[in-house]
Structure 1
Amino acid sequence: MDHLAVQKEKQLSKKMKEHLQRFKTAQDRDYDTALAEIKDGRKQGHWMWYIFPQIAGLGMTEMSRFYAIKDIKEAGDLLMDPELGLRLTTICKALLELETNDPHAVFGSPDDLKLKSSMTLFDAVPATFPVFSRVLDKFYHGERDERTLEILGIK
């Protein structure tokens, strides 16, 4: 790779890290609480936007737009981030360990729908982790969120 290409790659990597920083900042504050709530079987706090992000175009509130994932590439970038990817897969594994398969019992409304769209998004990332599909199987009988798939151009 020539010098210019190396510089461009460094700039892109820096931009990616800066763009994902909004998730790290919020999760540093609330991730442990979110994980504990999931392990207890009931979401109590207000952390859904940045723990289980959705594709842009679904939520209309300021918070949902701020934490929306702009495209499949950004979803992949989040998964490839050592900290954010590990956090998301860990909390999904905690969901799989719950006795219930009722997302409404765990998340209430409308967060039960947000989980479905988040899992659909991350399951659509090429060569993704199988945990997202397993969450969809457990809580939604394998159904994907149609609107998320439409926005991604998959349906």
Structure 2
Amino acid sequence: MAEQDDLFDLNRFVKAQASDYARALAEIRQGRKRSHWMWFIFPQYAGLGFSATSQHYAIKSLAEAEAYLQHPILGARLVECAEAVLLVNGQSAYEIFGSPDDLKLRSCTTLFAQVSPAGSVFQQLLDQYFHGEPDARTLELIGRSPENSSN
């Protein structure tokens, strides 16, 4: 795993989450994001955000997404946060995350659904909050069409 960490610099996420992960998870469980952690808790594919922070935390390939998901800390935390979102009842992604972070959630779940088995927590999030519709721009950037988006 250390070789993959070095290859993709996944440690940039571990460092960012060190001080904000517990707060992010608590905010999700409370049903309302209040602070700034979206980039490194629910990362998106490169090319979707243009701020320096967005670019720093962008996932640049499906291989990097797979490595992130397989990372013993990052993968477990991503799944834990995704499962926590699923447990928020009666609210839309917009009500939980606000804008544009609701769109970032959709992008993130689209990306990680591509490197996860069918029926994953990421597909469940797409189903529950986005009517099963993946983010078309994310699919375009990774070179997959919506019709061929399932893993």
**Structure 2 length as normaliser, TM-score?**
0.91
Shift in Å, 1:115? 0.3
Where does residue 134 of structure 1 map in the other structure? 124
- Residue of structure 2 aligned with 1:30, choices 7, 13, 20: 20
Q: Specify the SS of the correspondent of 1:82.
A: coil
Where does residue 147 of structure 1 map in the other structure? 137
Tell me the percent identity. 48
Shift in Å, 1:128? 7.1
Shift in Å, 1:77? 0.1
Where does residue 92 of structure 1 map in the other structure? 82
1:1-155 to 2 correspondences below 5 Å: 12-13=3-4, 15-16=6-7, 19-127=9-117, 130-155=120-145
Q: Distance in 2 between matches of 1:105 and 1:54?
A: 20
Q: Deviations over 1:71-130 (max 9, x none)?
A: 100000000001100000001110111112411000000000000000000001154771
Larger Rg: 1
Q: Which amino acid aligns with 1:143?
A: E
- Runs of at least 5 residues in structure 2 that lack an aligned partner in the other structure: 146-151
Q: Distance in 1 between matches of 2:4 and 2:57?
A: 19
Where does residue 6 of structure 1 map in the other structure? none
Q: Distance in 1 between matches of 2:2 and 2:89?
A: 45
Count of residue pairs the alignment pairs up: 145
Q: Distance in 2 between matches of 1:72 and 1:13?
A: 13
Q: Distance in 1 between matches of 2:119 and 2:18?
A: 23
Is the Cα–Cα contact under 8 Å of residues 29 and 88 in structure 2 kept in the other structure? Answer: yes
Is the Cα–Cα contact under 8 Å of residues 4 and 67 in structure 2 kept in the other structure? Answer: no
- Runs of at least 5 residues in structure 1 that lack an aligned partner in the other structure: 1-9
Over aligned residue pairs, what C-alpha RMSD do you find? 1.7
- Please identify which structure carries the higher helix content: 1
Q: Deviations over 1:18-45 (max 9, x none)?
A: 6100000001110000000000000000
Q: Which amino acid aligns with 1:59?
A: G
